[in-house]
Amino acid sequence: MTQPSRTPAVPQDAQSLRGVLPMLILCQLQSAESYGYELVVRLQNIGLTDLATGTVYPVLSRLEQDGSLTSRLVASTAGPARKYYSLSEAGEAALDLATARWRSLTAIVETGLGVTTTEDLAGEDQK
Amino acid sequence: MNTQTIEARSSFGVWRRRESYLFRLELWLEESLSSSERRSILREIRDNVTVDAAARGIDAALDSLGSPRTLARSFAETGRGSRPSWNRAIYWFTGLLMLWWTLAFTYTAGMLSALLDSGAESAESSFLGLPVSAFNRESGIGIGWEASSVVALIPLMVMIAAAILAGRLWRVRIGRR
């Protein structure tokens, strides 16, 4: 389980993470179906090293109830049947919308961060 | 202690901690989710915890889930709202009943002890309205209470009345939302 080198070593903000977690879950499940714990490990592998399982499982439940995810029970030799989640058509649309919103927001934030530096503000004052 | 014994104890410890967590989780889930929803969630969490515990230990697996109450609240956001906690009511009901009878038994045993000290043959008294007796005869010693008395059913009646009242209040409260 290694964190990608491009990920900055800054503690993750729980509130921000909660906002983007459904989108990331939908995205991960778009590429391959998963069961709960496996999905947590996949998310940790993309850099969310502090991600708690207790944060992910309720989101899975909510997304399934919303119709964004479908699930199926797969027989397991080690115990009871395991619940695998995959993206539904509604989930595909929800992911597209969430991705578009995220890109729009990050563009605004990037712009905002770019124009509100101290130097820029000082320059505006001198004019 | 051989390796198999240690493994067996370890497995039991993991099972006990996992099931204890799930038991508490179910109590909290009961307030907001239906029975079938709870069963589905608990089955899934049990499987995930088992895999997680095998990978990094039961302590880390349970820590990562957070407290049962917090986790249940997160699941409750998908539920149907507040529901009566019947299971919890049954546990409280049973606990209170056991407490009642334990106190009654202790009180009567105290009477018997006093009889043995004083040498008297029998004594009668009442514990919170329940007629109780103790005897110390040549044929033997013993304690008892009047099971045929309606008074003996008072704790049961009080607890049932409390449960019904609480249920009615809950319905009124929910109905006003």
Q: Which residues of B touch A82 (CB under 8 A)?
A: 47
The sign of the dihedral angle between the CA atoms of B102, B106, B109, B111 is negative
Q: What is the pLDDT of residue A21?
A: 95
pLDDT, mean over chain A: 85
pLDDT at B138 over 90: no
Say what the ipTM of the complex is: 0.78
Average pLDDT of the residues in B65-74? 94
In chain B, where are the structural domains located?
3-76, 86-175
Q: Closest Cα to residue A43, out of A24, A61, A17? A: A24
pLDDT tens-digit map of B8-28: 556 888 899 999 999 999 988
pLDDT at A31 over 80: yes
Burial B68-82 (b: 16+ CB within 10 A, else e): beebbbbbbebbeee
A58/B51 touch (CB, cutoff 8 Å), yes or no? no
| Residues B28 and B38 sit within 8 Å (Cβ to Cβ) | no
pLDDT, mean over chain B: 79
In chain A, where are the structural domains located?
14-126
Q: What is the pLDDT of residue B11?
A: 85
A36/B47 touch (CB, cutoff 8 Å), yes or no? yes
Q: Is B146 helix (H, G, I), strand (E, B) or coil?
A: coil
Q: What is the pLDDT of residue B111?
A: 86
Nearest-CA distance A23 → chain B (Å) = 17
Q: Is A42 on the interface with B (CB under 8 A)?
A: no
Q: Is A36 on the interface with B (CB under 8 A)?
A: yes
Pairwise CA distance, residues A24 & A46, whole Å: 10
Q: What is the pLDDT of residue B141?
A: 82
pLDDT at B2 over 70: no
Higher pLDDT, B149 or A33: A33
Higher pLDDT, A26 or B146: A26
β-bridge mates for residue A84, sequence order: A35, A72
pLDDT tens-digit map of B154-165: 767 777 777 776
pLDDT tens-digit map of B91-128: 777 787 788 888 888 888 888 888 888 888 888 888 87
Q: What is the pLDDT of residue B35?
A: 84
| Residues A87 and A68 sit within 8 Å (Cβ to Cβ) | yes
B51/A61 touch (CB, cutoff 8 Å), yes or no? no
Class for the domain spanning A14-126: mainly alpha
B65/A61 touch (CB, cutoff 8 Å), yes or no? no
CA A68 to each of CA A22, A27, A121: distance values in angstroms, whole numbers, following the listed order: 10, 11, 44
Q: What is the pLDDT of residue B150?
A: 67
Average pLDDT of the residues in B67-85? 76
Cα atoms in the 13 Å half-sphere on the side-chain side of B142: 6
How sure is the predictor about A32, in pLDDT bands with cuts at 50, 70 and 90? very high
A58/B52 touch (CB, cutoff 8 Å), yes or no? no
Cα atoms in the 13 Å half-sphere on the side-chain side of A46: 10
pLDDT tens-digit map of A34-77: 999 999 999 999 999 889 999 999 999 999 999 999 999 998 77
Q: Which residues of A touch B71 (CB under 8 A)?
A: 54, 57-58
Pairwise CA distance, residues A106 & A16, whole Å: 12
Q: What is the pLDDT of residue B147?
A: 65
How sure is the predictor about B87, in pLDDT bands with cuts at 50, 70 and 90? low
